[in-house]
Amino acid sequence: MMTKEQLKSQVCAAIAARKNDIKQLAENIWREPELGFKETKTAQKVEQAFDALGVPYRNKLALTGVKGRLKGGKASKRTIAVIGELDAILCAEHPDADDQTGAAHCCGHNAQIANMMAVTMGLIDSGAMAYLAGDVVPFAVPAEEYVELAYRNKLIEQGKISFIGGKPELISRGEFDDIDMALQIHLTSVKPERDNGFIEISTTTNGFVGKLINYKGKPSHAAAAPHLGVNALNAAMMGIMGVNAIRETFQEKDYVRFHPIITQGGDLVNVTPSDVRLESYVRASNVPAMIDANERITRALVAGAMAVGADVEVKDLPGYLPLYNNSSLNNLLQQNAEHLIGEENVWVAKHMTGSTDTGDLSHIMPVSHPWIGSIRGGLHGKDYTVFDEDMAYIRPAQMMAMTIIDLLFDDAQPAEELLANYQPLMSKDEYLAFINSFKNAS
Ligand SMILES: [Zn+2]
């Protein structure tokens, strides 16, 4: 009779035996990086890997997503997704960046796909699914990075998508309706003084509201007749200063971040600037703080326009929600990680001020999104490089596969208990109503 521990070690051995295939897939995706909602070649690579394993799948979900399904052998009740993100970022200075687009996988999403497929290979090669009371969904998802806003706004206008991010889009299309909980990993940097990789269990991250700000003044000769113009650049500077004047009211516990850029500052130096544009995120660790800071930042930005008699349009875009990792999933992943790489190489992270659209998913189902220390250089940096291949491509897959077995072995009692004790932060309808509430203009 097969025990849970025996099954776990068989799956881990099956993943290790596939090391070359897994590494090849990661490197193959690395060589052809594609930005969000454009990941057609990457999606094909996922489809080819599913075909080779005989895994049925659906494709072109939210344009490029690919969703497989492994059936559990026992009365199948619960479904656990293993998520891999398809998209790259822009990092034209990286030596391996795409010559045409400047895209590069400096956020390591290619390793997420490799680990997702490694879990799939391990479960299939070992025959483990026969012992599990539940399904596993390897899910390659588009567009985690919140970038190319103009391009994605065009897709929205064309009716091809409704949201800037891949997971909000997939949630709104019902593609997570048949999933009960989700696991995914993300690579992270290892400091130069440390020789080996690590696994950091994630707790929380910031969420954010996207902001497009347009100050409109009146053009006039900048030297001969400034009194006849309205200076939109001065309005923008007053707006930013207004925000700086309220920064002291943001509380440390809320980790508020406002980091605007000016994407258009005027047209000609001898004409009073009349069309000035800013972009920013308003980030915070929790939704009430996000909404509160966003309202007050909008007020300060509007005051800049009032000061000089300009007009201003502040457009809020649904950003990403804060990530709340599920503690039960975290505990299982941590135990399995400690078993694989030793307690001294596994720890629990503090709050992080970046953001991910997995935060959105974490509001409607249990999610865990640990960080895998396996690269040198910075995330999104030109010096990004994987230095610990086992930690980047093999260990996370083993850790996730072991956790799936913990949850679904025999009669899936642990998965049932986890869900019985779980209260989602929002229902799917509440979530959709909430993010749609940001699609306004003030
Ligand atoms: Zn990333």
Give distance in angstroms: CA of 316 to centre of ligand 1: 23
Counting residues of the chain whose pLDDT is more than 70, the rounded percentage is 99
CATH number at residue 158: 3.40.630.10
Indicate whether 359 and 310 sit together in one domain: no
The CA 264 to ligand 1 mean position distance, Å, reads 28
Among 287, 320, 353, the domain-final residue is 320
Query: Does 441 map to a domain?
Result: no
Last residue of a domain, one of 284, 304, 320: 320
Count up the domains in the chain and report the number: 2
Q: Are residues 122 and 166 in the same domain?
A: yes
How far, in Å, is the centroid of ligand 1 from the Cα of 401? 21
314/348 same-domain check: no
Q: Beta strand 65-68 with 57-61: parallel, antiparallel or unpaired?
A: antiparallel
Distance between CA atoms of 257 and 281, rounded to whole angstroms?
8
How confident is the model over 226-233, as a mean pLDDT? 97
Query: What letter would DSSP give residue 226?
Result: G
Cβ contacts of residue 433 below 8 Å, gap of 6+?
A: none
Helix (H) or strand (E) holding 241: helix 232-246
Q: What is the pLDDT of residue 13?
A: 98
The structure's pTM equals 0.92
In a domain, 354, yes or no: yes
Mean pLDDT on 397-418: 96
Q: Which residue type, as a one-letter code, is found at position 199?
A: I
**In angstroms, what is the span from residue 65 Cα to ligand 1's centroid?**
16
CATH number at residue 273: 3.30.70.360
- How far, in Å, CA of 378 to CA of 190, rounded? 9
Q: How far, in Å, are 177, 330, 343 from residue 352 at the CA level?
A: 28, 16, 22
- Our measurement of the distance from residue 240's CA atom to the centroid of its chain's CA atoms, rounded to an integer in Å, reads 28
Strands 89-90 and 186-189: unpaired
pLDDT in tens, 134-193: 999 999 999 999 988 778 888 999 999 999 999 999 999 999 999 999 999 999 999 999
Q: How far is the CA of 158 from the centre of ligand 1 (A)?
A: 27
**Does residue 249 sit within a domain?**
yes
421 and 344 housed in the same domain:
yes
Report CA(49)–ligand 1 centroid distance (Å): 22
Give burial (CB, 10 Å; 0-12/13-18/19+) of 421.
exposed
Please tell me whether residues 144 and 28 are part of one structural domain: yes
Q: How far apart are CA 266 and CA 278, in angstroms?
A: 12
Which residues have C-beta within 8 Å of that of residue 429, sequence separation ≥ 6?
A: none
From the list 148, 138, 136, 52, the residue with the least C-alpha distance to 103 is 148
Cα 141 to averaged position of ligand 1 atoms, centre (Å): 12
Residue 371 lies in a domain: yes
232 domain-assigned: yes
What whole-number distance in Å separates Cα of residue 184 and Cα of residue 170?
A: 16
Regarding whether 360 and 388 lie in a shared domain, the answer is yes
74 and 11 fall within a common domain: yes
Q: Is residue 292 part of a domain?
A: yes
> Is it the case that residue 440 has pLDDT exceeding 70?
no
The pLDDT tens digits for 51-93 are 999 999 999 999 999 999 999 998 778 999 999 999 999 888 9
- Do residues 221 and 290 share a domain? yes
* Interhelix angle 413-420/395-408, nearest 10 degrees: 80
For residues 198 and 215, membership in a common domain is answered with: no
In a domain, 54, yes or no: yes
pLDDT digits (tens, 9 = 90+) for 293-350: 999 999 999 999 999 999 999 989 889 999 999 999 999 999 999 999 999 999 999 9
* Residue 352 Cα to ligand 1 middle (Å): 13
**Other Cβ atoms within 10 Å of 309 Cβ, number:** 11
| b/e 277-302 (16+ beta carbons within 10 angstroms → b) | bbbbbbbbbbbebbbbbbebbbebbb
428 in Cβ contact with 177 (< 8 Å): yes
274 and 349 housed in the same domain: no
Mean pLDDT of the chain: 95
Instruction: List, for residues 349-386, the tens digit of each pLDDT value.
Output: 999 999 999 999 999 999 999 999 999 998 888 999 99
DSSP for 287-301, please give it: HHHHHHHHHHHHHHH
- Please tell me the distance between residue 107's alpha carbon and the centre of ligand 1 in angstroms: 5
Mean pLDDT score, 210-215 = 93
Q: For residues 146 and 314, is the Cβ–Cβ distance under 8 A?
A: no
* Cβ-contact 231, 312 below 8 angstroms: no
How many angstroms separate the alpha carbon of residue 143 from the centre of ligand 1?
10
Q: Are residues 263 and 370 in the same domain?
A: no
Distance 109 CA to ligand 1 centre (A): 6
Question: Of 290, 320, 350, which residue sits at a domain end?
Answer: 320
CA–chain centroid gap for 20, Å, is 27
pLDDT of residue 265: 96
Which parts of 86-170 are beta strand (E)?
89-90, 103-104, 134-141
Angle between helix axes 327-341 and 395-408 (nearest 10 degrees) is 130
Does some domain include residue 440? no
The residue to which tokens 């193959």 are assigned: 28
Q: What is the pLDDT of residue 441?
A: 45
CA of 254 from ligand 1 middle (Å) equals: 22
Looking at residue 119, its pLDDT comes to 98
**Is there a single domain that holds both residue 22 and residue 153?**
yes
Paired tokens of 306 = 């009032």
Instruction: Identify which of 415, 438, 429, 405 has the alpha carbon closest to the alpha carbon of residue 180.
Output: 415
Task: Give me ligand 1 centre to Cα 360, in Å.
Answer: 15
CA–centroid distance, residue 86 to ligand 1 (Å) = 10
pLDDT score recorded for residue 442: 45
Question: What is the Cα Rg of the chain in Å?
Answer: 24
Q: What would the pLDDT profile of 18-57 be if each residue is shown by its tens digit? A: 999 999 999 999 999 999 999 999 999 999 999 999 999 9
Domain hosting 238: range is 207-320
CA-closest candidate to residue 325, choices 294, 363, 291: 363
- The alpha carbon of 293 and the centre of ligand 1 are apart by a number of angstroms equal to 25
Q: Which of 385, 369, 379 is closest to 107 using CA atoms?
A: 379
144 CA to centre of ligand 1 in angstroms: 7
85 C-alpha to center of ligand 1: Å? 8
CA of 129 to the centre of ligand 1 (A): 29
- Give the distance (Å) from ligand 1 centre to CA of residue 150: 20
